Amino acid sequence: MGFELLYQASDNEFSASSFHSACDGKGATITLIETTLGCVFGGYNSQSWNSDGKWYYGDKKCLYLHW
């Protein structure tokens, strides 16, 4: 299994539309976020991101936090 960086806010725009342009329709993703205080959190999404304004639910998901 390989990983591909789809979006990095510091290299792209800090906007939802920029995120969705890069990540929609790409399949399962792992999202990592580092705050300005150095806290890291993220999650796993088994479904593709999309921008249609609907909520989608799956049984394979995870949220995590690292201080």
pLDDT at residue 6, as a whole number: 96
39/32 Cα distance (integer angstroms): 10
Which regions of 9-53 does DSSP assign to beta strands (E)?
29-34, 40-45
pLDDT in tens, 4-38: 999 999 998 899 999 999 999 999 999 999 999 99
pLDDT score for 13: 87
Indicate the pTM of the whole model. Answer: 0.76
| pLDDT tens digits along 45-60 | 888 999 888 887 777 7
Q: What is the pLDDT of residue 20?
A: 94
| pLDDT at residue 58 in the model | 75
C-beta of residue 66 within 8 angstroms of C-beta of residue 41? yes
Torsion of CA 46, 51, 57, 61, to 10 degrees: 30
Q: CB–CB of 26/11 below 8 Å?
A: no
